[in-house]
Structures are given as C-alpha cells and as structure tokens.
Structure 1
C-alpha cells in the first residue's frame, strides 16, 4: 500500500498503479480518506506556576510551597491538604483550590497517608425465636479433630438447620478461616436452592474469629442473611449444634485413632452422610434428617416447634 501511494504521488494513474500492486481500489480510498489516524495525546494546559491573593497579587508556586512547609513545621498539627488549603486562605489571603495544594504537596512529598474508610457491621445479639419450619434459622460452629499418626489437629465447620437437624454443608481442613466459612455458607444456600431466594435463613454463631471477621459479615450482608452472635459463655443459645458436636465426638472422632488426615477425612465424610441419611433422630419422629426434610417440603410433615 505504501509503495502504491508513493507512485501515485509521483503522478502515475491510480487505476494502473493499483492493478500492478494488486491493491483493491476500495482499500486504497478507504486508507487515504477514512482511516482513523493516530490520536495525538494532549498534555493539557500547563500549570501557570503562580496563584493570586485577595489583592490580585501574583504569588509563585515556590512561595506557596515555602508557606506549606512553614505551616506543617510551625503549627504542630498534622494537617492534610484540605486543611492546608484553608490555612493558606486564612493566613495569606491566597485564592487557591484544594486540587492545586494537593499537587504542590505531592511535589514536596508531604501528603498524609490516605486511610481507607472502615465499614462497621452492627453486632446483632442472638434473641429468642420460635422456629416453625426449615430454612428459618441455621446454627454454625467449629469442632476440632485430631490425627494421631501426624500429631496434628484438623477443623470441621458446619451449618445445621435447627428445625430439620440436617447438616446442610460442612468444611473440613487443616485450617479454617473466614473465607472457608463464607464458602461453606454459599454451598449451604446452594444445597437448599436459596441463593436467589427472597427470604434467607438467619445465621447464628458464637464469637469465634471466623465469624467476627469482616469477610464473613460482608458475605452475610451481600447474601441477604441476618447474622446474629450468641453472648459469650452462653453455649445454650447454640444448643442444637453443640448437641450435634457431642454426637460427632462420641460416634466418630473418639471411636478410633486416625493414622492420617486422609483416613480422618474419609471417616468424617462417612459420618456426615450417615447422620443425614441413615441415623434416626428422635425429635423428627425417628426419621433421618434428610428424609424428614424431603417430607416436610413436599408433603408438609411437621415436628415440634423449636423455641430458642
């Protein structure tokens, strides 16, 4: 294309040059007439290097920077650029905006470190409730297990529905962080087909670090779940999952010595399956939790109202 343009520029017939070069006439005319040329980046209007005071006298930027240094060193206050702008207007009658003072402070390297706005989530204390159906209140807590063969602990975190007693979702791992609690909560909502539901369950927990973390609070806020925490030293407020942990301890964790984490994971996973699908629960009419939940949702089967 460039060679063809050069020959055409010397006065040779356009059609003949394009035919010899093998360039379509439409491509040639598009490039010469309509192609977008590289945009020239404008650097904007240069800074004037001065400002005016109330008497319309020019004050150089160098003088303003000297005043800024005097204000910082002499006032004894750790002012930000907003207050420095106000101080220059008060003391020197300077007609200047905060953007320019920000730029001058940036050149001097005296800008204060910007603090991120902290989002504080209100702490909701667990209150007395009457539960009449599934997916109204879920309790969550963390249980420790031990691997004798590796001389190390592992963590189990669950979400339990207080009405149908099901373990909806659980996390098991060598560590347990707030992100694990968030992921398990999302999994529990997915298991119950509640991710897009208008009404979400209340989540009740103790005051463990995973639950007081901002990540967990923010996730509950985003997912639409009200998160309430029991007062310290009141495990009876989380009685259902505390009772489940006793069953987990007696029927699984204390029943054998785990030689490896792999073995522990297999045994705990098997226990959760049996608890939900095989083990009879007296408060559910001697049905397994999964069976009762299905009949509750499909046929309206109920159990005693839960008051806690």
Structure 2
C-alpha cells in the first residue's frame, strides 16, 4: 500500500497539533511520532508551512500550479517558434511543400510528427499519405515543356488549348500546376535570334457583328540583318480575327494596297467597311475612289488615335511580340516564307483568347466532333497542321 500524500490543509493541522504537544512538555521526536510522521518530515513541514494559515497554503499551491502552467506555455511557444523558423522560407501553400517542411523540422528539431503537423497546420493523414501522380504525368509534362520551348510567348492557357487540340484531356488547373512546378513563365523580353535551319477597342462608332462586315488594315515595319527596311501590310477580319493577308516587300505603296485588296475581294468578296488610319497609302484618292466603286465604305480613325483601330493594333502587337522580335531575317525571300508560315499558324493553330482559345480559321474539325478517337498522350508539338509543317520544311 503506497504512502499517503497529505494536503497542505492536513499538514498545517498536524503542525498545530505538534506545537500544542511540544508546549505541554513533549519532545520534538515524541510530538512527531504522535502526529504519525518522522522527525525529518516534521522539520521539513515546519520549514515549508510553519506559521502559515490554511488559506495561505492553498494560495501558495495555486501560485505553484499557475507557475508550472506558464512555464509550460513559454516552453511550447519557444518550441513552436523554433519549428516555424526551421521550416521552409516563405508561405507553405501546398500540402507537398508542408510535407517536406515537416520532415525537415522533425529531423532538425527532434519534435514529434503530431507537434510539427499542429504547428505547420498539416493534417496528419495528409502528411502520411504518399502522393501518387498520374501515369501520364511525365508525358504531359514533356509536351508542356516542349510547347513552351517552341512557342516562347504563349502562356499556360494557350498551351492548354494546344494540348486539347492535340488529343490531351486536361483542364486548365492541371496545366497551370505543371507549368508552375516546372518553373515556366513568359519572359518579358527575348532577343532576336538566328534560325538554326532545322525543321522545326475597336472604334466605338463601328463594331463588327458578322464575318466580312468590317476589315482593317495597317502597316508594320521591320529590318533584315543588314539593316534594310521590310514593310508588311496586315489585313484582318475584325469579327473572326483572321489575318486575311500579310504581304511583305521593301516598299508598299497605294498600288500594292489595291493589288492586295483586289485579290482578297476576288476570293472572299468585298466587305461592307474597311478601317484604317490616315496614312497616305490609305487616304489616296485612287484607293478611296476604287473602294467607293465597289461599295466598300471607308472608316478612317481620328488622327493620333490608334486605339480606334484596336483589333489591328492588337494583331500587330502579337505579330511583333511572338514572331518579329524573335527572328532575324537575312533576305527578303526568307522573310516572306517565314512570315507567311506564321500567318498560317496564327489562323489555323494559335489559340485566340477572344474566341474561347480556338484558332480563327482551323484547317480541320477537332477529333471529338468527327467521332475519331482522341489520343490519350503523345507529343503534341509534332501534330502540326500540314501547311505549317510544309512551310517549316521549306526553311
């Protein structure tokens, strides 16, 4: 049977009883034996509780318990601070990153898994569950990296659209996750490079509401490697966003504009309106009279207001950002071939955000609509339209 533990109230009562016995002539050992303790215990009790009242002893015990609780709290806070300082820098937003941080903390600080999970806010079942990726994760990652390498100015949304067109069944979130995991991003600027020779608001007054309703055209300039000027005429259908023509020459005058429009009118029919700035090639009398005889109305923007020709200015920006700023042309013939290949790619392959990430004029219907089986995996970058592949092989 274990030794009985006395409460502070019982100890103070026994001390008072011993004091009475000693006052009546008994010795200290006799008084200690009378209260049922040894002489050493009596002296220890008198040292701790001598002269105290019952309420004072009770208060002392409460203060001791409070002191222990505060010590434990300070110890816990110090340990939590050590865990947080030892964890990975920055925010732990994903379970995978928390899992790595918890393993590191347990090894460095020596705390339990329960404590580390509690401090870093990770459920223990999540910590113990081993992540298991999909079987096609490696193939999809390889396709995303290859597409990002080929189309350096495309973000993950356009890459996801290209993957779906190639046969992948992926949503945008999965592509974004792999995109961020691989550290991919669209750089702000890219230097011009030489080809390796491997096959590889519109104007508020008038808005288009159907194909062939409003066309717009403008000029874009660049230079070949030796510094000679290149001039391009960009003609687009504002409703479908399709680039109708992109002729390239050293000089383009009003006669060249008429020749390009004549070929397009013969192939597609004249539009109802054609929008342009106030350049001399567009405001020339011969151009306006010729368009008037064909029933095409001209819509000139306000001088110094390029935002009124927003559709064409947006296309010119994409042409320069995605292609011209990344290519070095060594001859006029090379420029014509490569620019025409890019125009075909823009119309038939490149996903357009304003069209639900579909190209303006796809060459063929998607496999899902034709009933053909969709490929679960494979290299998406190799399944290019025949026209683009043919142009690529020419250079």
* Structure 1 residue 292, shift from structure 2 partner: 9.7
- Aligned to 1:143, what secondary structure does the other structure show? strand
Q: 1:292 to 1:131 in 2, by over 3 A?
A: farther
| Distance in 2 separating the partners of 1:170 and 1:243 | 15
**Structure 2 equivalent of residue 280 of structure 1:** 351
Runs of 4 or more off by more than 4 Å in structure 1?
Answer: 292-295
Asked whether the equivalents of residues 140 and 159 of structure 1 are also in contact (C-alpha less than 8 Å), the reply is yes
**Structure 2 equivalent of residue 168 of structure 1:** 244
1:209-261: CA deviation from partner (whole Å, max 9, x where unpaired): 10011121111112210012101111111001101111111121110221222
Matches within 5 A, 1:115-194: 128-149=205-226, 151-192=227-268, 194=269
Root-mean-square deviation (CA, aligned residues, Å) is 2.2
Matched, 1:220 2:297: no
Q: 1:241 to 1:292 in 2, by over 3 A?
A: farther
Return the index of the structure with the highest Cα Rg. Answer: 2
Unaligned runs of 5+ in 2: 1-202, 367-395
- Aligned to 2:251, what secondary structure does the other structure show? coil
- Aligned to 2:264, what secondary structure does the other structure show? helix
Q: 1:205 to 1:260 in 2, by over 3 A?
A: same
Pick from 288, 303, 307: which aligns with 1:232? 303
Q: 1:225 to 1:139 in 2, by over 3 A?
A: same
Asked whether the equivalents of residues 217 and 235 of structure 2 are also in contact (C-alpha less than 8 Å), the reply is yes
| Distance in 2 separating the partners of 1:243 and 1:273 | 17
Matches within 5 A, 1:38-187: 128-149=205-226, 151-187=227-263
Q: 1:165 to 1:292 in 2, by over 3 A?
A: farther
Identify, as 1 or 2, the structure richer in helix.
2
**Structure 2 equivalent of residue 291 of structure 1:** 362
Unaligned runs of 5+ in 1: 1-125, 296-308
Give the total of aligned pairs.
164
| Distance in 1 separating the partners of 2:365 and 2:260 | 22
Asked whether the equivalents of residues 247 and 336 of structure 2 are also in contact (C-alpha less than 8 Å), the reply is no
**Structure 2 equivalent of residue 62 of structure 1:** none
Matched, 1:204 2:275: yes
- Report the more deviating stretch, 252-261 or 236-245: 252-261
Asked whether the equivalents of residues 171 and 180 of structure 1 are also in contact (C-alpha less than 8 Å), the reply is no
| Distance in 2 separating the partners of 1:181 and 1:213 | 10
Identify, as 1 or 2, the structure richer in strand.
1
Pick from 231, 243, 257: which aligns with 2:314? 243
Asked whether the equivalents of residues 204 and 238 of structure 1 are also in contact (C-alpha less than 8 Å), the reply is yes
Q: 1:176 to 1:294 in 2, by over 3 A?
A: farther
- Aligned to 2:266, what secondary structure does the other structure show? helix
